[in-house]
Amino acid sequence: MKANIKAISYYLPESILSNELINQEFPEWEIEKISSKTGINSRHISADDEFSSDMAVKAANRLFEEHNIDKSTIDFLLFCTQSPDYFLPTSACIIQERLGLNTSIGALDFNLGCSGFVYGLSLAKGLISGGMAKNVLLITAETYSKFIHPKDKSNKTIFGDAGAATLITSEKGFCELDNFVFGTDGKGAENLIVKQGGLRYPVSNENEDISDEFGNVRNDKNLYMNGTEIFNFTGEFVPQLTNSILEKSNLSKEDVDLFIFHQANKYMLNHLRKKIKISEEKFFIAMEDCGNTVSSTIPIALYEAQKQEKLTAVSNVILAGFGVGYSWAACNLIFNQ
């Protein structure tokens, strides 16, 4: 049984952190420098009392309303987040109740970052292909801003909060999910991490702030990213990932109409595009007004590509997610069914 993406919607919090506001706080960060390096002009930041489940519910309700979807047809809920409301219960169970979905559905959380949307699509396809579900609601939502130290100017310029909802169905959609490839290398786990908060390292109130060579401040309950190692990781593995999905799908780069990668930052994306030798017109970027929203970057970009009519005359689209874990995944979408 085929699995198809039928609809996507997303939600961005009301509060906006612009480059102008960052410059006011950190005058050494010039507005134009932030924009040119990151490709981001502003990011949306969740309110103090707004969490991943709240954004998930808002994104899903927007999906139902925007695309006239009967929520009673949903028979499985997948929720991807690394910033859950609680250790337990499962956030997906809370979201099911708040959305008023049937109690006969399956619901689960899975913890992945920038590769999470592609992994979620693969799980949805497996459920549908195995006859266990017909309509899977995949939601991605993150509040990374709550992990970032107020004086960590580097991470502050990159990450924004968001939620995205995608309906994957056995019925006809705007594209079919075809092949998938995956990768995992846990040796890079400590290069992108929130060390405290789990059971191994509970949150401590006695943390001392430390400052790096660039003046970024953080402690062990904040998000830490080793930018150099993450950049090296993507440069090594993303080209291999792209070649693997092309080979598995029996496609050449010329056969692909659009590449949509995880929207990490403009500098990294342009480096990857040039290294893989993808033309600019085939490489879609949509992060200017929302930043790096982790697992929601690809569905947001897909939504914007569809809105800008970039998907009206295409046959093959490649999605690739990569990051924290290290974890990576890619798939190809078939259009013109």
Q: Which residues are catalytic?
A: 114, 262, 292
Q: Specify the pairing of strand 76-80 against strand 135-142.
A: parallel
How far apart are the C-alpha atoms of 28 and 8, rounded to whole Å?
Answer: 39
CA dihedral (216, 219, 225, 226) positive or negative = positive
Give the side-chain half-sphere CA count within 13 A for 265: 20
Q: How far is CA 115 from the centre of its chain?
A: 7
Name the β-bridge partners of 318.
259, 332
How far apart are the C-alpha atoms of 88 and 50, rounded to whole Å?
Answer: 18
What's the residue count for the chain?
337
How far apart are the C-alpha atoms of 116 and 327, rounded to whole Å?
Answer: 9
Residue 131: exposure state from Cβ atoms within 10 A (0-12, 13-18, ≥19) = exposed
* DSSP letter for each residue of 124-136: HHHHHHTTS-SEE
CA dihedral (221, 225, 226, 229) positive or negative = positive
Which residue, 279, 283, 276, is CA-closest to 310?
Answer: 283
- Distant-in-sequence, close-in-space partners of 292: CB < 8 Å, separation ≥ 6: 40, 158, 159, 160, 263, 264, 265
Could you check whether the bond before residue 89 is cis, i.e. omega within 30 degrees of 0?
yes
Under the phi-then-psi rule, with left for phi > 0, alpha for psi from -120 to 50, and beta for the rest, what region is 65? alpha
Asked if 252 and 244 count as a contact pair (C-beta separation under 8 A), the reply is: no
